[in-house]
Amino acid sequence: MSRSSLSVALLSGALALCGACATRPPVNHRALTGQPWRVLVDKVLMKDNKWVMTEDHVREIRAAGFNVVSPRLGGEDMARVRRVATLAGKHDMYYVAWMRGSLGTKTGLKYVYPDGHDCDIYSPNADELWDRMTETILAQAKVSLEVPAMVGAFLDFENYGRGKAGNCYGLSYDREIIRQFALHINVAIPDLPAAERHGWLGKRGLLKSFEKFQVRSWRARARKLRQQLDEINPEFLLVIYPAPGTLLMTEALFPEWATERAPLVLADATTYGRPAEFMAQGESLLVNRQRLLKGLHYTRKRGIPHVYLGGIDPVCAGADPEFCGKNAAMIGAVSDGYWIFYEGPEYRKDHPAYFQWFQKANEQIADGLVTLHNEPRTEPENLGRTRLDRKTDKLQVAVYNNRKLLGNDIEGTGLYEVHKIEGMSVGYLQQLDAVLLQNYNVELPADHVISRNLRTYVESGGGLLLGHDTAWFMESVFPEIAQRGFPKHKVEAERHVVDRKLAVCAEHPALAGLAKGTEFQTEFGDHMIFEPGPKGTVVVRNRFGDPVYVIGTVGKGRVVYSGCYYGYRHALAGAEKELLLNLLRWLAPPPAKGH
């Protein structure tokens, strides 16, 4: 099988670009690959066969127009890697081996966040993590010498560990990196509890130098891995997800893993599905295009050799077969190709419909004449229900991203019937006494129809809680109450404060007697902050004095801006639970006794 598309052409194309690299960043690496990437990371076909990919699966994937396959399981088993890579080559495809960019541990050197809590994965400063990555990737590269269809490794830097707060990795405050930093600056740093390390460095003006030191150590490790890899196969590609990425990815892997012979392949996840579950297809594709262009712009400004791929995940709400196919076409028209984290469809049920639409997109992308995403819908869209299916006479509450633990906490009061929110029309919303939106992470303008409907709902007497990322991404629908804030302490991903300590800072009827000064720890590992408006009342702040809960009245209804996320891994407890339930009673007051 010829490697002219994804390997040999990488070399020739990169060399052709070499002279230009000094004056401008590479703009499009299709010239390097010879064709747009169409990658299937599979969890659907192989699941139907006890998680083993067969030759029939590979044949079917190729017939649908994909040119790269990556089974979700088996990427670290070299026998399985060799077998599937050989099948891929037989059917004129390429293979990349999926693996995690993190490593679980309960007893080793853990990843420690600025607030001192840790996560059950190895620190980015742990030898065990880098040794395992190096050993696995080098073994995969050796297979590539035997099986030319094996062209790279796909590293998943999503964080799956207990205690996670963001993807892998930001700075770690583990004991070992603190010890190394102390030696580097020749300053005696006491053996502090984890929760005190960030503050100790901050008070002494050492946070910036600590960040530079840690990033340099990552770069040295990443550089060594790439150098060892180049000794085996300098054309072996490294794919990293989610792009553009975390601090580790952008500040260490970008400069050290991207080479002219093996551009860094970036797998973006911001285009996975509809930006909002109840957003129409046309608008969704436009928003996804804007997200993709933002990631592309950032990466191209960095000036590294790269291939940029937009992502699709059919498990996302609203990601029906037609939308996914047209999303693929849009991505293929804008970037260097696309990749699918293929989960959600059932192989013997709706999988054929998804592959039919992907095949349509793949044919156009391969031909270079992509228009599918501009064509009108052929099937009606499900943009939400208009009627609430209530079963009791209790107060009706709908939750977006209804975590089971959160629903249990609310229903446990005996006051509410809890629903998963299934619509955003005014008529649907007005059948509800309160709405809680958390993880509805959509960059909606204030004049968007969904935003206008939420405001109309509140003004007519509804209760609305905007939680965590929701109220940050969405342009404020109630600027008189609050708007997104930009934290300055223990910041991750621009908006998250990686700290769990909060305190009630005001007396207010909505708190139902929860005393001013009451301190509590949040269940989730980070929180957001807000800027209060002229009619907003701050009732909870963090340890830095930033507003975390801001509440107010709008028309006949009430609004809560909450920086917290509820019910992620554990049920709420103590003052945090009492606070949320008190605020819910304020948003949707129980009827007076006798009514």
The mean pLDDT value for 367-382 works out to 93
For residue 508, being part of any structural domain is answered with yes
pLDDT recorded at residue 33? 57
The residues, ordered by sequence, that sit 6+ positions from 563 with a Cβ below 8 Å of its Cβ are 467, 468, 471, 497, 527, 528, 529, 530, 548, 549
pLDDT recorded at residue 401? 78
- pLDDT higher than 80, residue 369: yes
Taking the alpha carbons of 517, 522, 526, 532 in that order, is the dihedral positive or negative?
A: negative
pLDDT recorded at residue 163? 83
Which tens digits make up the pLDDT trace of 393-440? 999 999 997 678 899 999 999 999 999 999 999 999 999 999 999 988
pLDDT band at residue 32 under the 50/70/90 scheme:
very low
State both tokens at 378: 């052929």
pLDDT recorded at residue 402? 66
The mean pLDDT value for 578-594 works out to 88
Which tens digits make up the pLDDT trace of 56-74? 999 999 999 999 999 999 9
Query: How many Å apart are CA 55 and CA 37, to the nearest integer?
Result: 21
Cα atoms in the Cβ-side hemisphere of radius 13 Å centred on 236? 26
The mean pLDDT value for 195-222 works out to 97
For residue 465, being part of any structural domain is answered with yes
Average pLDDT score over the chain: 92
pLDDT recorded at residue 384? 86
What CA–CA distances, in Å, run from 158 to 138, 258, 509? 22, 20, 41
For residue 242, being part of any structural domain is answered with no
Query: How many Å apart are CA 432 and CA 411, to the nearest integer?
Result: 15
Beta strands in 129-230 (DSSP E): 150-156
Torsion angle, CA of 13/332/316/423, rounded to 10 degrees?
150
In the chain, how many domains are there?
Answer: 1
Which tens digits make up the pLDDT trace of 286-331? 999 999 999 999 999 999 999 999 999 999 989 999 999 999 999 9
- pLDDT higher than 80, residue 387: yes
Specify burial of residue 199 (Cβ count, 10 A radius: 0-12, 13-18, 19+): middle
Range of the domain at 428: 395-587
pLDDT recorded at residue 592? 67
- Element (DSSP H or E) covering residue 60: helix 55-63
The mean pLDDT value for 351-361 works out to 99
Which tens digits make up the pLDDT trace of 98-111? 999 999 999 999 99
Taking the alpha carbons of 542, 545, 550, 552 in that order, is the dihedral positive or negative?
A: positive
pLDDT recorded at residue 593? 60
- pLDDT higher than 80, residue 538: yes
Which tens digits make up the pLDDT trace of 250-276? 999 999 999 999 999 999 999 999 998
Chain-centroid distance of CA 287 in Å reads 16
The residue ranking higher by pLDDT, 4 or 43, is 43
pLDDT recorded at residue 276? 85
- Element (DSSP H or E) covering residue 554: strand 547-554
- pLDDT higher than 80, residue 1: no
Query: How many Å apart are CA 257 and CA 266, to the nearest integer?
Result: 11
The residues, ordered by sequence, that sit 6+ positions from 372 with a Cβ below 8 Å of its Cβ are 325, 326, 329, 360, 361, 364
The residues, ordered by sequence, that sit 6+ positions from 62 with a Cβ below 8 Å of its Cβ are 91, 92, 93
For residue 572, being part of any structural domain is answered with yes
For residue 75, being part of any structural domain is answered with no
Q: Which of 6-10, 332-336, 430-434, 531-535 has the lowest mean pLDDT?
A: 6-10
- pLDDT higher than 80, residue 115: yes
Q: Which of 436-440, 491-495, 519-523 has the lowest mean pLDDT?
A: 491-495
Q: Is the peptide bond before 244 cis (omega within 30 degrees of 0)?
A: yes
Q: For residue 434, give the CATH number of its domain.
A: 3.40.50.880
pLDDT recorded at residue 490? 85
For residue 388, being part of any structural domain is answered with no
pLDDT recorded at residue 498? 87
pLDDT recorded at residue 28? 34
Integer-rounded Cα radius of gyration of the chain: 25
